[in-house]
Chain A
Amino acid sequence: MRITQGTFSFLPDLTDKQISAQLKYALDKGWAIGIEYTDDPHPRNTFWEMFGNPMFDIRDPAGILKEINDCRATFANHYIRVTAFDSTHQTESVVLSFIVNRPKEEPGFRLVRTEEPGRTIRYSIESYAVQAKPEGQRYS
């Protein structure tokens, strides 16, 4: 399967040139860009690891692309996403977030159904990769 979190997951993987254009768009808007990675892509795992703080002071797409490539080199078999933060009053949140790296194999998720009275079912979603191995060894 292909995890389709993020703004552009239904498109073919973005090239570095396409990524740079998105970075430029975000920087031109005054947003700060952060890089985050994980090997636990559960839909409600909000807090991926930060590859450093959001880069409030780097205003050049090339500088940020270099950081992305450093992250890719370190965590080649992880999910990596680029996240843009807008500090405008009454937004103050993420305004763009897209995946720039993913593991070669994506085994996906198992839906666990726990049956309860009255035909009600409790659902939980478990990642096959997370179930199989501890953090850091899941997608090797």
Chain B
Amino acid sequence: MNALAKDVVKESATEIKSSAKRYKAGVLKYAQMGYWQPDYVPKPTDIVALFRITPQEGVDAKEAAAAVAGESSTATWTVVWTDRLTACDMYRAKAYRVDPVPNSPGQYFAYIAYDLSLFEEGSITNVTASIIGNVFSFKPLKAARLEDMQFPVAYVKTFRGPPTGIIVERERLDKFGRPLLGATTKPKLGLSGRNYGRVVYEGLKGGLDFMKDDENINSQPFMHWRDRYLYVMDAVNKASAATGEVKGSYLNVTAGDMEEMYRRAAFAKELGSVIVMVDLVVGYTGIQSLSNWCRANDMILHLHRAGHGTYTRQKNHGVSFRVIAKWMRMIGVDHIHAGTAVGKLEGDPPTVQGYYNVCRDTHTKVDLLRGNFFEQDWGALRKVMPVASGGIHAGQMHQLLDLFGDDVVLQFGGGTIGHPQGIQAGATANRVALEAMVLARNEGRDIANEGLDILKGAAKSCTPLQAALDTWGEITFNYTSTDTSDFVPTPTASV
């Protein structure tokens, strides 16, 4: 590169300070417009976003980062004089740091800071309209992924958060010191209300704390929602009387419009349910409205993350699930499906632990191994109970307890209902395996390594557990994860 060309590159990567030049009609580089500020230090009140960007061939990484900052805040494709009617230096988002992604040629981590005044209080909907609005379709980028976000506590406190939270949920259910147990009623489609309630009763009486509607059970021709609710609540109450325990079944209130969701939630309350559920596909606003309803009606809110895999799974494009988990804690859900690490669905173990930490921490620390790039002070927002669901069974109890600890709902659907001796036996096998593992851990045993011995010991006085181990003991799902953290233990130099 000759000296002149170098000067041109340098100039195009620097903010133009002269107002006359800066606001002359025409097109400028985003960096020239002031969206790249390498010396900027984020204020404690800024919202910070970390994007993984893949610029098109020939697009400079800093200019690409500036473009993301511009398109997710005030910029459009050309200079507009009306900027000068505003405090535009403040409103402009600032890309302030660009690092190459380790071991991923062509990809960069771009750090962008946004002033608090850019966002409406208490609205993740508004945050997303900026942060993941137009910018993901922007032509100079081949791909973009929102990896993480940091919210100032001032903004966190504009949200009410989970209506119930882990602590109050446990107090209401009278269940302490161990993970909760659940199962999704299967088959997910086709059961009549009467047959459906049968599965719920068997699972709860056998020892589960919760049964669950599946994400796509709403109100189909084979089972209308009122029928389901009536039969399920008979099963829940009968199982409660049979065991002396508080029991629940997540009644899915997801529907085509908000009015119908409120109608269903109100009926769930009328029947005495402790919990309702909703699917992520109803959207940020719908979930927050339902959260408000739950807060006013002493109801636990379970969120199924249906649809998230369309944008969370691929590392180069979309939104990381850790960001979705943060948004959902602020919007206010009590349960969120956050992965199993060892089951049938996507999830690298440290990355999944990172999601769990976001749900349960009072103060999240930087933890690059687990994919958490930022500190996050949760400002006393209640904690969300993560849910591990999908292809897990009693033979993995030691791994699950070791990875996730006590504050998690472990959901064994097939692992309960598919038990060779029946649903009650399947539920009992899971409950005995769980209690035996918690007992052993508390006694100081090394459950990660002695887990199978502990299970075999417990199975001596529990035939259903022995049958579960005989059926599924060796089943594992060892596939390479697509979504893993990219970091090297020593930090790389900024570009």
Contacts and interface: CB of A to CB of B under 8 A. Distances in A.
Interface string B168-195: 0011001011100000000000000000
A98 to B, nearest CB: 7
Contacts of B270: 120
Interface of B: 167, 170-171, 174, 176-178, 207, 230, 233-234, 237-238, 240-246, 270-272, 362, 380, 383, 406, 428, 431-432, 435-436, 438-439, 442-444, 458, 461
28 contacts: A1-B242, A1-B244, A4-B243, A4-B244, A4-B245, A7-B176, A7-B177, A8-B435, A10-B431, A11-B435, A18-B439, A22-B442, A25-B444, A41-B244, A43-B244, A46-B174, A83-B176, A93-B176, A94-B170, A97-B176, A97-B177, A98-B177, A108-B241, A108-B242, A109-B241, A121-B271, A122-B272, A123-B237
Interface string A78-114: 0000011000011111111110000000001111000
Nearest to B363: A90
Nearest to A124: B237
B428 to A, nearest CB: 7
Contacts of A43: 174, 240, 244-246
B442 A25 contact: yes
B435 A7 contact: yes
B241 A84 contact: no
B310 to A, nearest CB: 34
B362 A111 contact: no
* Max chain A Cβ within 10 angstroms of own Cβ: one of B238, B243, B245: B243
Interface string A47-60: 00000000000000
Given A10-B207, A89-B362, A111-B237, A22 B439 contact: yes
A66 interface: no
A95 B176 contact: yes
Interface string A18-59: 100110010000000000000001111010000000000000
B208 to A, nearest CB: 11
Pairs of residues from A and B, 3 with the lowest C-beta to C-beta distance, nearest first: A96-B177, A3-B244, A111-B241
B174 A5 contact: yes
A8 B439 contact: yes
Contacts of A119: 230
A134 interface: no
B438 A7 contact: yes
A120 B362 contact: no
A93 B122 CA distance: 28
A5 B170 contact: no
B442 A10 contact: no
A93 B439 contact: no
A27 to B, nearest CB: 11
A40 to B, nearest CB: 11
A108 B240 CA distance: 11
